[in-house]
Amino acid sequence: MQNFLQTLKKIRRTVRKILRPIKKTIGTVCTALLCIILVAVLSVTIIGSAFTVYIVNLMEGTSEVVLDNVSSNYTTYIYAQNEKNEWIPYDILTSEGEKRIWCNLEDIPQMVQDAFVYSEDERFYSHDGVDYQGILSALRDTLTGFKRGGSTITQQTVKNLTGDNEADRFAGIARKLRELYRAVQLEKKYTKDDILETYLNIVPLNNNIYGVQAAANYYYNKDCDELSLAEAVSIAAITRSPTNNDPIKHPDNNRKRFKIILDIMLDNGAISTVEYNEAMNEELNLIGSMSYAKTEDNQKIDSSQLSAYENFDDVSSYYVDSVINQCCDIFMDKYGITWEDAYEKLRSGGYEVYTCVDLDIQKKIEEKYLDYYTFSEDGNHEVPQSAFIVMDYSGRVLGVVGGIGEKEAPLCLNRATQSTRQPGSAIKPLASYSLAVDKDIITWSSRFLDVPLLIKDSSLENGYGGPWPRNYSTTGAYRTSWSKEFNFTYQCLQRSLNTTAAQIVELLTPSACFEQLYYKLHLDSLVLYRDGSTDVARSPMSVGALTDGVRLIDMAAAYQIFGNGGYYYEPTFISRIIDNTGEIVYNHRYTGEMVISEGSSYVMNRMMETVVSGSRGTARKAKLDGVELIAKTGTTQDWNDLWFMGCTPEYVTGLWIGHDTPTEIDTDNCYGSPDMWSNIFKDIAENEEIKTFKPSSQVVTREYCTVTGLVAGDNCSSKNIGYYKRTNIPGVCSGEHLGDDIPSGTTVIVTDGIDTDYYEELTHEHYNYRFEILS
């Protein structure tokens, strides 16, 4: 027994010896494993914490996506009326060339909505912004070599709104995480309809087209509520790869995607088998141009019908430029912003701008300005520059061209609306004649002696400077250019005598003439006082020698008063502007301001008619067949500028000719202003429905004595017909015409303090009249 116990002890000692290194090894291994596990856990914890901090920081730095103002960044349409009085697109304005037209979800048919939903996101109405099933499917397909997207409509909306499209490595992963976070947050704040509406209006569809409405316009010349199922699906098929799936450029690719979408719609019960088959068999009539517009009878109109400029789609027209500039002026005034901000607001604001353009007139004058034979007999391209404008008698500008030849760029110099030039004699009816008639100072047959003023100048030895002004439109006495003849008022205007205009200004005073032009006729380029210069003076008010000059559009607006009973209307290219919510932000007020009386207007009208019909009229070469024309020409000093202001019963027109840098016009190289006006506007004017101006009840016709200018008496042997305001009819002539008496009503103006002996010698060189001097 004792031996057994000793043997057992030996075995135990042996086992202990054997187990001791094993236990040591196991302990070491377990300790190592435990350390590894602890390190792994600690590493995971650290990495997880760091990743959590990164995600938290990433989310905190991720801006919130809002949909509230998305519709404010859309295409602006400029509309014109056609011959059927239908409003059609005349031009479009976009931000950076993007074409966007907002369309509310209720105006997008359900089948159009379904085409996009089943194309891009079948489970759109069931997920919370992120489609995890779709993501897993996308990963699986990627591993098997089939590339597909896993982004939901909500995620795509986020991406399109934020422009967050990083794709490289870690930046791409961070972007995707931001996108997922934003999508979930967006779904919490907005309804599915809100998100879908935004998506359908911002989804990129190639050719800088964004949204279903712009795409419907571009591809099919339709609004999206007019699309067929096949047309809607063909547009939805673009989204997966806009460049490669364009139905015009890559019809085969589009067709493949087209069938996939229809299959999905059919499988989900969105369409019936009949609708499926009809869509598959429908022949698509693709257009592919935003310049197309449709009328009520579905007649398609392209840019060649809107303008004579072949590059109209790229550079627009002078009329469109004028619309843009007026819109910007309106926005600057309304919102207190800069021109640049106003222009961007217009381009991206989704406005509807309704213009006053007459497309037929605009295109015709564009054609004339593209043809150099309009301006010279041999079509010489070295002719000066020119501008033309036409408006009605309520200030609506119907047509405008700002330069000869092709228009080279959008928003280029428009000489009709932006350039200020000296008006010369074209200022006379506005500054002097009409005001004097209105104040009953002169009549049709007041008599003026064609002699100059002698201007008082104490610095000179004889106390006067002069004589001034010279005439440029009469053949008179040798060297002086003064005929020293007596002329009736209408004859002075007909012949554009500078001397008479100066005498009338002297009667009225330059300050009264300036007030008429600046405050009532709104010629705001006139200078009251600047650096020693002023237009409140004889020369500017008499012969148009202004400090800066005037704009052609302002002159045309002022000339309205001679054809509409004396009213001034602010010129406008725009009738109204509507924003993308349908609110009217601008509505032009056609409120006229009476500048002269109706009677004064009609007397001036009849005087200006003689400028065309009279044998010595400066505008006689522009006479029309069967339609009345009243006009006034203008020529500036040194022949730097030529003007023609012409009014027919329906239109007010203005023509300017000159070099951009004022230099003398070589009239041997080009036509005169009456010939040019006739070449440009005669065909339009002679087709007017209204042929004559409406007479005024405030004006009567009377026979006047051609010797005295008074109403002819029984003993007057030489008579003519004149037009007189009822408030200012001359007295009756006695018929006793004495040769040594100055005829009653003759006006001779000399400033105070002048050596009248000299003046009598000058004026009596050929005539033996006795006269009185009016100061």
Note the pLDDT tens digit of each residue in 423-435.
999 999 999 999 9
Would you call the peptide bond into 89 cis, given omega within 30 degrees of 0 as the criterion? no
Range from 175-179, 224-228, 764-768 carrying the lowest mean pLDDT: 764-768
Q: How far apart are CA 585 and CA 573, in angstroms?
A: 16
More reliable by pLDDT, 130 or 276: 276
More reliable by pLDDT, 427 or 13: 427
Spatial CB neighbours of 84, under 8 Å, sequence gap ≥ 6 = 295, 296
Q: How far apart are CA 175 and CA 182, in angstroms?
A: 10
Q: How many CB atoms lie within 10 A of CB 372?
A: 16
Q: How far apart are CA 573 and CA 326, in angstroms?
A: 7
Tell me whether strands 385-391 and 397-401 are parallel, antiparallel or unpaired.
Answer: antiparallel
Instruction: Check pLDDT > 80 for residue 440.
Output: yes
Angle (deg, nearest 10), helices 153-162 and 110-120: 90
pLDDT grade for 475, boundaries at 50, 70 and 90:
very low
Range 8-36 average pLDDT = 68
Spatial CB neighbours of 635, under 8 Å, sequence gap ≥ 6 = 424, 425, 472, 473, 641, 642, 643
C-beta pairs of 325-332 under 8 Å, 24+ apart in sequence = 325/411, 325/414, 325/417, 326/572, 326/573, 326/574, 327/351, 327/353, 327/574, 327/577, 330/574, 330/577, 330/586
Q: Do 515 and 494 contact (CB within 8 A), yes or no?
A: no
Spatial CB neighbours of 125, under 8 Å, sequence gap ≥ 6 = 117, 192
Q: Token pair 């364009």 is at which residue? A: 246
Range from 60-74, 561-575, 635-649, 653-667 carrying the lowest mean pLDDT: 60-74
First to last CA, the chain: 168
Distance of CA 748 to the CA centre of its chain: 49
Q: How many CB atoms lie within 10 A of CB 598?
A: 18
Q: Do 453 and 467 contact (CB within 8 A), yes or no?
A: yes
The reported pLDDT for the residue numbered 442 is 95
Q: Token pair 């037929």 is at which residue? A: 360
The reported pLDDT for the residue numbered 700 is 98
Q: Do 185 and 143 contact (CB within 8 A), yes or no?
A: no
Q: Do 744 and 708 contact (CB within 8 A), yes or no?
A: yes
State the average pLDDT for the chain: 85
Question: How far is residue 237 from each of residues 117, 212, 243, 447, 463, measured CA to CA in Å?
Answer: 11, 12, 11, 82, 90
pLDDT grade for 158, boundaries at 50, 70 and 90:
confident
pLDDT grade for 742, boundaries at 50, 70 and 90:
low
More reliable by pLDDT, 165 or 92: 92
pLDDT grade for 8, boundaries at 50, 70 and 90:
low
One DSSP character per residue, 209-228 reads EESHHHHHHHHHSS-GGG--
The reported pLDDT for the residue numbered 183 is 80
The reported pLDDT for the residue numbered 768 is 33
Instruction: Check pLDDT > 70 for residue 45.
Output: no
Range 25-37 average pLDDT = 70
Q: How far apart are CA 633 and CA 647, in angstroms?
A: 12
pLDDT grade for 390, boundaries at 50, 70 and 90:
very high
pLDDT grade for 93, boundaries at 50, 70 and 90:
confident
Q: What percent of the chain has pLDDT over 70?
A: 79
The reported pLDDT for the residue numbered 53 is 45
Instruction: Check pLDDT > 80 for residue 762.
Output: no
Instruction: Check pLDDT > 90 for residue 63.
Output: no
**Left if phi > 0, otherwise alpha if psi is -120 to 50, otherwise beta: which for 488?**
beta
Distance of CA 660 to the CA centre of its chain: 22
The reported pLDDT for the residue numbered 54 is 45
- Which of 137-141, 203-207, 228-232, 764-768 reaches the highest mean pLDDT? 228-232
Q: How far apart are CA 579 and CA 686, in angstroms?
A: 39
More reliable by pLDDT, 98 or 44: 98
Extended beta strands in 320-446, E state:
352-358, 385-391, 397-401, 420-421
Instruction: Check pLDDT > 80 for residue 617.
Output: yes
pLDDT grade for 1, boundaries at 50, 70 and 90:
low
Question: Whose CA is closest to 563, among 600, 527, 526?
Answer: 600
Q: How far apart are CA 699 and CA 720, in angstroms?
A: 16
Question: How far is residue 554 from each of residues 276, 521, 557, 595, measured CA to CA in Å?
Answer: 62, 8, 5, 15
Q: Do 504 and 418 contact (CB within 8 A), yes or no?
A: no
Largest CA distance in the chain: 187
The reported pLDDT for the residue numbered 667 is 86
Question: Whose CA is closest to 378, among 665, 657, 669?
Answer: 669
Find residue 721's DSSP bridge partners. Answer: 703
- Which of 24-38, 86-100, 470-484, 597-611 reaches the highest mean pLDDT? 597-611
pLDDT grade for 49, boundaries at 50, 70 and 90:
low
Range from 152-161, 321-330, 537-546 carrying the lowest mean pLDDT: 152-161
pLDDT grade for 752, boundaries at 50, 70 and 90:
very low
Range 384-396 average pLDDT = 98
Range from 199-208, 359-368, 388-397, 678-687 carrying the lowest mean pLDDT: 199-208
pLDDT grade for 738, boundaries at 50, 70 and 90:
low
More reliable by pLDDT, 17 or 653: 653
Instruction: Check pLDDT > 90 for residue 643.
Output: yes
Instruction: Check pLDDT > 60 for residue 462.
Output: no
Instruction: Check pLDDT > 70 for residue 40.
Output: no
Q: How far apart are CA 82 and CA 74, in angstroms?
A: 25
The reported pLDDT for the residue numbered 328 is 98
